[in-house]
Chains A and B, each alone.
Chain A
Amino acid sequence: MLIYFLNSILFVLGLYCLIAKKHLVKKIIGMVIMEYAINLFIILLGYKDNGIPPILLPEMNRASFLQHSVDPLPQALVLTSIVIGLSTLALMVAISLRLYEKYKTFDMSEIRRLRG
């Protein structure tokens, strides 16, 4: 219960950085921290006490494998999510580099004032 609360504090920190800072790269960093918090939350939902990873090895007993392994379904979803986060980061950095070329600054309030 407390661990979900700490995780939501990490999410809230990322969201604060996205909204309240003016530097474009800091906004991107806020978005990256939000992604970390969400992926961690999904994996925390599937943890089993004293659990083993869901990979079957040749010398393992089937019954103990079924009883002890952690939930494999959230891990499959998070694997997808991490790689999608990487490609959207590439797109965000490309757009911010083009904005820097055109307006010669990274400050968001300056860009909003100049506007073309």
Chain B
Amino acid sequence: MQGMTFIVKTATRLLVGIIFLFGVYITFYGHLTPGGGFAGGIILACGFILLTLAFGKDMALGKLSDFWASLLDNVGALAFWSIAFFGYTAGYFFMNFIEKSQPFGLMSSGTILFSNIAIGVKVFASIFAVFLALTIFGRFVSGLVNAEDEE
């Protein structure tokens, strides 16, 4: 898949950094403002999909290949599980064991911040990998999709 015209490439170069920053902000401040891990992860995936559509698949695969996307997915799921198991050190399963400071701060809610980060990474990697598998590595012959069929 090749990229798009010069206008789209210039606009993407200006916008992509802001989109990533917005996704990371919504993930990190999920316990204070609306958002959370799910919304932030999908916004990050949208940013990467914009990069893929504007510049072609080679550049986007150079930034985050399919192997690394699958690996990040598993790392996020395992991190969420391990946060749950660390609750056993302080009491019961999934207990919020980190000390809570005053409200309306970044570290004011214990394990909720780390859970948001783990879920954000997991959802981002999953949605980007599904987009790659459905659109880039197409299987049948048509005008827009590469023919990757080996049978």
Contacts and interface: CB of A to CB of B under 8 A. Distances in A.
Interface of A: 53, 55-56, 58, 79, 83, 86-87, 90, 93-94, 97, 100-101
B34 A53 contact: yes
A55 B31 CA distance: 9
A112 B58 CA distance: 40
B38 A94 contact: no
B61 interface: no
A83 B34 CA distance: 16
Contacts of B104: 58
Q: How large is the interface on B (under 10, 10 to 19, 20 to 34, 35 or more residues)?
A: 10 to 19
Interface in B104-137: 104, 123, 126-127, 130, 133-134
A101 B140 contact: yes
A79 B38 contact: yes
Contact of B38 (A56, A83, A100): A83
A84 B38 CA distance: 11
Interface string B1-40: 0000000000000000000000000000000011010100
Nearest to B36: A79
B139 interface: yes
Nearest to A101: B140
- Cβ-closest 7 pairs across A and B: A90-B130, A83-B38, A101-B140, A58-B104, A101-B139, A55-B34, A79-B38
Contacts of B133: 94
Given A79-B36, A86-B127, A87-B126, 6 more contacts: A53-B34, A90-B134, A93-B134, A94-B134, A97-B139, A101-B139
Nearest to B126: A87
Contacts of A55: 33-34
23 contacts: A53-B34, A55-B33, A55-B34, A56-B103, A58-B104, A79-B36, A79-B38, A83-B38, A83-B42, A83-B123, A86-B127, A87-B126, A87-B130, A90-B130, A90-B134, A93-B134, A94-B133, A94-B134, A97-B134, A97-B139, A100-B140, A101-B139, A101-B140
Nearest to B149: A101
A72 to B, nearest CB: 12
Contacts of B126: 87
A58 B36 CA distance: 19
Contacts of A83: 38, 42, 123
Nearest to B104: A58
Contacts of A53: 34
